[in-house]
Amino acid sequence: MTPSELQSIRLCRANPWHFLTRFVLTQDPARGDLAYPDFPYLKALLEAALAHRFLLVPKSRQMMVTWSMISLLLWRALFRQSGVYLLLSRNERCAEELLDRARFILERLPSHMQPELKTNNRSELEFAALGSRLLSLPASPDGPRMYSPTAVFWDEMAPSSV
């Protein structure tokens, strides 16, 4: 690893905003791969997510909240704390799409930031040397029961009908 690559890892480890705005790519169906936007409201969202144990974010579509939370969990898994990170959504397919976004980000990171994968399937990413796992699960009553997660992102948690 070069001194420059080591410095970039140090900066990312110290500052998730640096990681997101300099290394994370997102995907837009119409515009393709895009750099994570440096918007003040997203920086405030990240700061709130880091400062609070629980955070409920009422949102509309296309606000980058899902990309932000997945990126933040990935940052934690790569640079801060080994553990189990759960990605929950209303059903198995939607939960797997969350993990696909994490995989998308991971695959586009510079090679010196990409850890060796021990497990890489539809519902799990496990980083061999880091002791971190990202799991996608449906948000059913029993889905996350057997885990003691380090962090959880629950997307689309509003009821589908009232």
What are the pLDDT digits (tens) for 81-131? 899 999 999 889 999 999 999 999 999 999 999 999 999 999 999 999 899
Is residue 159 in a domain? Answer: no
Is residue 160 in a domain? Answer: no
Domain with 63, as residue range(s), is 3-154
Domain count, the chain: 1
Q: Give residue 141's pLDDT.
A: 66
Is residue 85 in a domain? Answer: yes
User: 120: alpha, beta or left, given left = phi > 0 and alpha = psi -120 to 50?
Assistant: beta
For the cut 50, the answer to whether the pLDDT of residue 162 exceeds it is no
Q: Give residue 144's pLDDT.
A: 59
Q: Are 64 and 39 in contact (CB under 8 A)?
A: yes
Is residue 138 in a domain? Answer: yes
The length of the chain in residues reads 162
Q: Give residue 48's pLDDT.
A: 95
Is residue 119 in a domain? Answer: yes
Q: Give residue 56's pLDDT.
A: 83
CATH of the domain at 92: 3.40.50.300
Is residue 60 in a domain? Answer: yes
pTM of full prediction above 0.85: yes
The residue type found at 28 is: D
Is residue 59 in a domain? Answer: yes
